[in-house]
Structure 1
Amino acid sequence: MSTEDIRIVIADDHTLLREALRDTLLVEEDMQVSGVAGDGEEVLAVAARAKPHIVLLDLEMPKHNPIRTVAGLRQITPAPRIIILTMHDGAASVHKLLNAGVSAYVSKNVSRQHLVSTIRSVRAGQAVIVATSGGLGDGTDPADRPISLSRRELEVLDLVAEALSNRQIATRLSITEGTVKRHLRNIFEKLDANSRIDAVRKAQGASLLPAYL
């Protein structure tokens, strides 16, 4: 990762929230807000001009279809990494947007520390999946902290939900069984789960997996 400041574009149609986010991020020594936008068309123009590393993208704005906007952002060279920042959760939305190329899905209720940490992780190339349900609070109580799974951990959990064995998961993902077990240990710890079924249920409850899995 480059040592240059992380350039960020904020896209939200609420002026007060844009200003609050800008003020929050400008406190960080390694971050700069290189542009703001209030609708889906404007964010494409601003991002094309500002060449940000990160776009914080609201789900509900005028002139904005999230999937199309994400596709447009990914056509910019170099393509910014996209973090959805929203009040809305739901596994179907999470999965659609991740499949479209979004790096993280974050509730507007997360703490400043969590948002900043997510931005840095995404800039470093780590795909971060963030639970948005359950009243995320300020992150001071462990029970209220957002749950983050890497993209690979989510892939493993998807296959666990399909009742695949460790060996079958390893074959499907072209990794070793030992790597599958390591991912499962991490998943269990992050979800505070004591079994594969418990992990799937908790992931569904946190909108990390569709409830129909």
Structure 2
Amino acid sequence: MPSHAIRVGLVDDHDLFREGIRDILNAHADVTVVGEAGDAAAAVRLVGDKKPDVLLLDVDIPGGYVTDTVGRAKALSPDTRVVILTMLDEAKQIRELVRAGISAYLLKSASRHELVATIRTAAASPERCVLSISRDSLALLVAGDPAPDSSATPLTSRECEVLELAAQAFSNAQIATRTGMSEATVKRHLRNVFAKLEAVSRIDAVNRAVAAGLIAAPGPAGH
């Protein structure tokens, strides 16, 4: 563990959540939050400016795909350890992030003690990767995924859900109602889909996803 307090950069797009995590971390003498960000671009700037020991990063933030954010952050500050803190528990995404060089993947259902312990481990043991995930995801990681189409950029299950509804001509507001997300979250998922598929419109994204086998072809309107 560093002889100084572990300097943490905190990235999440929910202000109230960030405030809670900041209070938890700053209550420990060996941990201090040195910067905060709410989107991918600000997260990268934070890393470039502050060079934190640990970057605590949510997967689902505006402005870019999370593996790209991790890569840009690591390029600016190779010694910064990236700890993912998220609600998402998907083996494919976890594997991508491990390959991108994260030091830990922690679910937001973790206790405050587990969070602090994970940050300490990441700072002290850069060669380790801590995975605090469900047994199902862990089993898939160990077993390996079926070989995907190497030409397809993977979408998360939520992104596929949103895109399938968009393919049925539902508006963002209607998708939000059906999925229980906020409209802003729906828009964010669509932005991520466009970026991953290099699509320029909803129709283009749907066509690319169908061609890649990521979603089923939409049926007649209203079905």
Shorter-chain TM range is 0.5 to 0.7
Instruction: Quote the RMSD (CA, aligned, Å).
Output: 2.1
Q: In terms of Rg, which structure is larger?
A: 2
The 1:24/1:68 distance shift into structure 2, 3 A limit, reads: same
TM-score by length of 1: 0.63
The 1:204/1:211 distance shift into structure 2, 3 A limit, reads: farther
For 1:75-99, what per-residue CA distance to the aligned partner results, in whole angstroms no more than 9, with x for missing partners? Answer: 1235310011100011111111000
2:63 counterpart residue number: 63
The 1:209/1:91 distance shift into structure 2, 3 A limit, reads: farther
For 1:157-210, what per-residue CA distance to the aligned partner results, in whole angstroms no more than 9, with x for missing partners? Answer: xxxxxxxxxxxxxxxxxxxxxxxxxxxxxxxxxxxxxxxxxxxx89416x6654
Q: Tell me, yes or no, if structure 1 residue 43 matches structure 2 residue 43.
A: yes
Q: Tell me, yes or no, if structure 1 residue 21 matches structure 2 residue 17.
A: no
Contact 1:5 1:31 in 2 (8 A): yes
Contact 1:81 1:122 in 2 (8 A): yes
Query: Shift in Å at residue 212 of structure 1?
Result: 4.5
Contact 2:8 2:35 in 1 (8 A): yes
Q: Which contiguous aligned blocks of 4+ residues in structure 1 show a shift greater than 2 angstroms?
A: 131-134, 207-213
TM-score by length of 2: 0.61
Q: Tell me, yes or no, if structure 1 residue 102 matches structure 2 residue 102.
A: yes
Unaligned 5+ segments in structure 1 are: 135-200
| Matches for 1:112-131 after TM superposition, within 5 Å | 112-126=112-126, 127-131=128-132
Query: Shift in Å at residue 51 of structure 1?
Result: 1.2
1:176 counterpart residue number: none
Q: Tell me, yes or no, if structure 1 residue 4 matches structure 2 residue 4.
A: yes
Query: Shift in Å at residue 131 of structure 1?
Result: 3.4
For 1:1-54, what per-residue CA distance to the aligned partner results, in whole angstroms no more than 9, with x for missing partners? Answer: 431010000000000010000000001110110000000000000111111000
Task: State the alpha-carbon separation in 1 of the partners of residues 137 and 19 from structure 2.
Answer: 35
Number of equivalenced pairs: 146
Task: State the alpha-carbon separation in 2 of the partners of residues 72 and 209 from structure 1.
Answer: 29
Query: Shift in Å at residue 124 of structure 1?
Result: 0.7
The 1:78/1:202 distance shift into structure 2, 3 A limit, reads: closer
